[in-house]
Structure 1
Amino acid sequence: MTAHLRTALTDLVGIEHPIVQAGMGWVAGPGLVSATAQAGGLGILASATMTLAELEAAIAKTKARTAKPFGVNIRADAADARERMDLLIREKVAVASFALAPDRDLIARLKDAGVVVIPSIGAAKHAVKVASWGADAVIVQGGEGGGHTGPVATTLLLPSVLDAVDIPVVAAGGFFDGRGLAAALSYGAAGIAMGTRFLLTQESAVPDAVKQEYLRRQLQDTVVSVKVDGMPHRVLNTELVQRLEQSGRWRGLTAALGNAARFKSMTGMKWSTMVRDGLAMRKTKDLTWSQVVMAANTPMLLRAGLVDGDTRAGVLAAGQVTGIIDDLPTCKELIDRIIADAVARIDALCALRDKKQSAALRRE
């Protein structure tokens, strides 16, 4: 029988275990999300790399595989963000997750429809802002995490956010086992979110050869690069990344424009839509135009590695935990053992307290 840990997150979302599978572009599809949900965690579909029609199909596939709660990650600055939110409301998706904070009106619109709103944030001040706007919870990712990340480690960022807000806080960045979950709960978090650890499961659609590339890596084998898309991005340190790091500004911009054209062709997006998205990114993230253009690199470079399996031509987003992970369990095996280990760790800590109390009583 699987142990359980009841937290503010499990109560809020209606899941069995306080474990979230992050919405990773090209990785978090219906198979991984439904497997996570069936195992008792919260799976989150990544929609940034999907058209609206593809997202609708992905939600339908996920609902066909599980009746348990799951979420969808949305870019709040996307040109069709409101249409995507309408879809979530219509399909009664349990959770709306955001990489960029939605505004007050969007949060209210989702909450009025019964959708739980959980933005991802990277600083205490951002958590305070979204909490004041009505967000139900936040995911806070420390610098150890993969993909776009900040400079502050989880061990410092997490308590700073916990001290700043009174809504549930989910810790991300550097988590992969029960020890991490027990530690996060002891800080006061309501659960943990993991990306790389779920990427390296059997239900992950990432090609096996790419998974083996991750498993071969050591703790020092990731790097935070700004040459991928103009923003700090933690990835595996590959030959391609090394070339990008050594490339000049104009070479990077030229490659980005080419990738933007390929992404447009693949998704059927109009140039006008991509320009509107770029304008929104520039406004919300305070980016230069060169950074906006470079951001076009991300979808295609990640797709080459995570979908096509071309580790030489693609970029592989990775948290530092890739250097300590050594297996490919099913989602159920992973979640069950994390919960069992966390419960054992918590029980051991309680036993330490009891021993000290007993010794004090004997001295009296």
Structure 2
Amino acid sequence: MDTAFTRLVGIRHPIVQTGMGWVAGPRLVSATAEAGALGVLASATMTLDQLRDAVREVRSRTDAPFGVNLRADAGDAGDRVRITIDEGVRVASFALAPSRELIAELKDAGVVVIPSVGARRHAEKVAAWGADAVIVQGGEGGGHTGEVATTVLLPQVVDAVGIPVVAAGGFHDGRGLVAALAYGAAGVAMGTRFLLTSDSTVPDAVKARYLAATVKDVTVTTAVDGLPHRMLRTDFVDSLEKSGRTRALAQAVRRAAGFRKISGLSWPAMVRDGLAMKHGKNLSWSQVLLAANTPMLLKSAMVDGRTDLGVMASGQVAGVIDDLPSCIELVDRIMTEAEETLKSLELLRAAR
């Protein structure tokens, strides 16, 4: 399926696997790329050396294009951009709008820049700064999210910018892909759907929790880091919401110490990163620390399998997913469903 987005990044199918922390590693990314979609490495949970090694591992597994997801507000964002450039990565995506300078540096090196946005004004801003495409995530999406549904936000952004728009939030099958194309998107991006594949390294017991979830088991909370975060409702999430400020601060300090050890960040650097994530919000000190070490809460579940000590970011779509295909099975199925949907629409028109 040929769209402006597939032509831009050089892939066969207009599907993106998003850069999920602790989930989107070399195995998942390379499997996605081999399936003809765009796999995106999650770099925020990697040290600089780990990022370089991960990029090289993906390249050893596939010749297909892939991307790296970067945190624009990280203190070492510039270093990560340079690794992306030096290693010849095709695409750089951003969880938050990057600066005009970062966009220019990447574009000068021939890297395709694709920020993720949750509002029309953000899409307009990055488009004016030279972004090549945008991923638009509606409120149905997992992780940090907004309040506007994809069906409302997507057409707003499509009408506002003249660059390819990729739709995220609520997509999992071929019908959704066709719907996104009908709205004017050039592709779809999926996180939870790729997390729930056999190529994902998430522990089987954790995947089982996702598969057992209904739509009502997916919630939005600000208890993790003060910002709206969509995830599975668990006893641990309930405990975070009920914790007093003193207890929450103690928990945050303990987890921050663990993340500092893994990431190599200093305490001042962690606090700076946490403050950078406030985005004008009135966060407590415990939330500032949690904002800096939220990756540890994700790691507990996504790597260690400790759903009692961690959080499971999730789109609402988890409530309608019930299997674990390989990436190539998933992408082939989506494209087959999309073709069948398009044919059924053609029959409707022919019957008039």
- Could you state the TM-score of these two structures normalised by the residue count of structure 2? 0.97
**2:154 paired residue number:** 158
Q: Deviations over 1:295-344 (max 9, x none)?
A: 13411111100100011111111111111100000000000010010111
Q: 1:114 aligns with which of 100, 110, 125?
A: 110
1:211 aligns with 2:184: no
- What per-residue deviation string (whole Å, max 9, x for no partner) do you get for residues 196-229 of structure 1? 0000001100001111111111111111000011
Distance across 2 between alignment mates of 1:228 and 1:196:
19
Q: Which amino acid aligns with 1:146?
A: G
Q: What is the one-letter code of the residue matched to 2:131?
A: A
Say which SS state the counterpart of residue 189 (structure 1) adopts: coil
* Structure 1 residue corresponding to 2:86, chosen from 85, 90, 105: 90
CA distance in 1 between partners of 2:268 and 2:240 (Å): 28
Question: Partner residue of 1:287?
Answer: 281
Residue 142 of structure 1 is matched in structure 2 by: 138
- Helix, strand or coil: the match of 1:212? helix
CA offset at residue 270 of structure 1?
1.8
Measure the CA separation in 2 of the matches of 1:276 and 1:28.
25
Once residues 75 and 329 of structure 1 are traced to their aligned partners in structure 2, the CA distance between those partners, rounded to angstroms, is 29
**Which residue of 1 is the match for residue 66 of structure 2?**
70
Superposed CA deviations along residues 143-182 of structure 1, whole A, max 9, x for unmatched, are: 1111111111111111111111111110000000001001
Aligned to 1:174: 170
Identity, % of aligned pairs? 64
Equivalent runs, 1:324-363 vs 2, <5 Å: 324-356=320-352
Pairwise CA RMSD: 1.1
Shift of 1:289: 4.8
1:175-214 equivalences under 5 Å are 175-214=171-210
Contact 2:106 2:113 in 1 (8 A): yes
Q: Which residue of 1 aligns with 2:318?
A: 322
Letter in 2 for 1:48: A
The answer to whether the 8 Å contact 2:271/2:292 transfers is no
Deviations 1:85-117 (A, max 9, x none): 111111110000001111111101101111000
SS of structure 2 residue aligned to 1:136: coil
Residue identity opposite 1:288 in structure 2: N
* 1:49 equivalent in alignment to 2:45: yes
Contact 1:18–1:191 (CA<8 Å) still a contact in 2? yes
Size of the aligned set, in residue pairs, is 350
Letter in 2 for 1:45: L
| Aligned 8 A contact 2:274 2:290 in 1 | no
- 3-state SS of 2:75 partner: coil
Which residue is 2:30 aligned to? 34
* Partner residue, 1:277: 273
Q: TM-score, normalised by structure 1?
A: 0.94
Equivalent pair of 2:270/2:289 in contact (CA under 8 Å): no
CA contact (8 A) 1:256 1:296 kept: no
Distance of 2:262 and 2:108 partners within structure 1: 35
Which is worse superposed, 14-23 or 158-167?
158-167
Cα offset, 1:277, TM superposition: 2.1
Runs of at least 5 residues in structure 1 that lack an aligned partner in the other structure:
357-364
1:361 corresponds in structure 2 to none
The superposition leaves residues 16-66 of structure 1 with CA deviations (integer Å, 9 ceiling, x where unpaired) of 000000000000000000000000000000000111011001001000001
- 1:360 is aligned to none
Asked if the contact 1:255/1:297 (under 8 Å) is kept, the reply is no
In 2, Cα distance between the equivalents of 1:275 and 1:222? 29
Q: Look up the SS of the partner of 2:135 in the other structure.
A: strand
Q: Pick from 260, 264, 272: which aligns with 2:260?
A: 264
Cα offset for 1:280? 3.0
Structure-2 separation of matches of 1:172 and 1:13: 17
Measure, in 1, the Cα distance between the counterparts of 2:191 and 2:151.
Answer: 18
- CA contact 1:27–1:206 (8 Å) conserved in 2: yes
2:128 corresponds to 1:127: no
Alignment partners' CA distance in 1, 2:2 and 2:264: 44
- Once residues 248 and 160 of structure 2 are traced to their aligned partners in structure 1, the CA distance between those partners, rounded to angstroms, is 39
Q: Distance in 1 between matches of 2:87 and 2:184?
A: 33
Partner of 1:9: 5
Matched, 1:105 2:101: yes
Structure 1 position 79, deviation (Å): 1.1
SS of corresponding position for 1:227? coil
Residue 44 of structure 1 aligns to a residue whose secondary structure is strand
Indicate the structure (1 or 2) with the bigger Cα radius of gyration.
1
